[in-house]
Amino acid sequence: MFGVPCILNEPYDLDVGKYAVFTWYGCDVVLTGVPNVPKPSSSSPLVSAYVTEDQNFSMLAAVNVHGRLEQARENALASQGRGPVVVIVGPTDTGKSTLSRILCAYAARRNKRPIMVDLDPGQSDLAPPGALAANPVDVENLSVEDGLSTGGALVYYYGFASPGEAPDYYKKCVEKLASTIEARWAMDPSRRASGCIVNTCGWVEGEGYNLLVHAIETFKADVVLVMGQDLLLNKVKKSLPESCVVIKLPVSGGATVRNREFRKQSRDRKIRDYFNGARIAGVSLTPTSQDISFDDVVILRIPNKEDIAEEGIRPVGKASAIDPNRARPVTLDGSLEHCLLGISHAQSEADVLHKNVAGFVHVQRVDVATRTLTLLCPQKGPLPGKYLVMGGIKWIDASGS
């Protein structure tokens, strides 16, 4: 499942989501769900499960790519050089995330430790929505039920579900993520040889394409894998130097279109799981609500495209008051309720958007009269920093938990 071996006759309790089970030799897969009498409901896994007819083409392509990457990693180990940096691109719902997980899992099973990077702030596999993140992958933090354990992820809070909301700051987050990875590799050449797999969002036209090329160049990619689309393949080849290998891969027959509502539900579930744990057997976390004084925190907002557009109507000759890479103070009032905030590692206000975050809190209530915020926190105790970063991500826990 996504490159992680399943044990024969072992039951697995899976959270809500889309899953792909693959076998080279054939197998029987037994699905059970909530009993429905006289027949399963439309939401039951017994109805939505199917067998794809792609004749293994997509998996053969993935294995072939893995073989080439593994050879590059062995060469990098021998020469103490950098391993392959792979960027996966393509429109939405073409299997980019699935391929990135498979390639990372295959590498881990060969005793390598590649870094998985997710640059899709709307549907990240590594962090709550609005984040750009990186996480090393090895056999110890991979499992069928939980996927990739992300306890040690490096996270920058971009703050929006789409790169188009604040493109200048999105670029800055990509650059900081890439430079931090390079700095960590410099301290551990053996891990540097494992390289990294970079997953991107599905916005591949107009400004989205420009952001895509920026990410490829920023990470100094050796290989770009293009999922399915010939037009994008040709554009990428023309935009990149010949030293960067560009390969077209087939779209998996199991790839399905996810509508806007499904994506919104996925983002909500990702936030809920961050605080409460995934809803599978035996896995739960205990978040805590804490009252924090207005005086104990500084909340800053990431300027978005609307802020930048306002600069176009300022009087001629007046200096710009907005730096797209500098956070703006937030008025502490009811508008903050339900916002997801990143806890910055910054030691000063000017440095907030240049630092990664230690974690996230959720604003449950704002009491202006008593000047207190009620925050949902992953654990008890003081916050790891006083600077909180606000974007455009909000969440209302429909479960009431």
What residues contact 34, with CB distance under 8 A and at least 6 apart?
A: 44
| Total Cβ atoms within 10 A of residue 163 | 27
Which part of the chain is CATH 2.40.30.330? 282-394
Domain 282-394 has CATH 3.30.1360.200: no
pLDDT for 240 equals 94
Hey, which residues does 299 pair with through a beta bridge?
A: 388
DSSP-assigned letter for residue 41: -
179/83 Cα distance (integer angstroms): 16
342/359 Cα distance (integer angstroms): 6
pLDDT for 45 equals 53
Sheet with 196-199: list strands edge to edge: 154-157, 131-136, 115-118, 196-199, 85-89, 223-227, 245-249
DSSP-assigned letter for residue 337: T
Cα–Cα–Cα angle for 280, 285, 127, nearest 5°? 80
| DSSP state letters, 339-396 | EEEEEE--SSGGGGGGS-EEEEEEEEEEETTTTEEEEEESSSS--S-SEEEEEEEE--
Phi, psi (degrees; rounded to nearest 5) at 269: -65, -35
48-101 confidence digits (pLDDT tens): 778 876 666 688 899 999 999 999 999 999 998 999 999 999 999 888 999 999
CA 169 to chain centre: 16
| Total Cβ atoms within 10 A of residue 353 | 26
Which amino acid appears at position 146 of this protein? Answer: D
> Is 197 strand, coil or helix?
strand
Dihedral sign for Cα atoms in the order 152, 156, 159, 162: negative
Phi, psi (degrees; rounded to nearest 5) at 135: -150, 130
Closest to 117 measured CA to CA, from 165, 61, 155: 155
Q: Which residues of 38-48 are buried (b: 16+ CB within 10 A; e: fewer)?
A: eebeeebeeee
361/381 Cα distance (integer angstroms): 13
Let me know: does 61 contact 69? Beta carbons within 8 Å: no
Please list the pLDDT of the chain residue by residue as tens digits (401 residues): 999 999 999 998 887 777 888 888 888 888 887 544 445 555 555 667 788 766 666 888 999 999 999 999 999 999 989 999 999 999 998 889 999 999 999 999 999 999 999 999 999 989 999 999 999 999 888 888 888 877 789 999 999 999 999 999 999 999 999 999 999 999 888 899 999 999 999 999 999 999 999 999 999 999 999 998 899 999 999 999 988 999 999 887 666 677 788 888 889 989 998 998 765 544 567 889 999 999 999 999 988 877 666 555 555 555 555 565 678 899 999 999 999 999 999 999 989 989 999 999 999 999 999 999 999 998 888 999 999 999 999 999 766 54
> Is 327 strand, coil or helix?
coil
Q: Which residues of 256-283 are buried (b: 16+ CB within 10 A; e: fewer)?
A: eeeeeeebeebbbbbbbbbbbbbeeeee
What residues contact 81, with CB distance under 8 A and at least 6 apart?
A: 75, 192, 193
Which part of the chain is CATH 3.40.50.300? 57-249
Q: Which fold has domain 57-249?
A: Rossmann fold (3.40.50)
Helical H segments across 150-206, by residue range: 167-187, 189-192
Write down the mean pLDDT value for the chain. 87
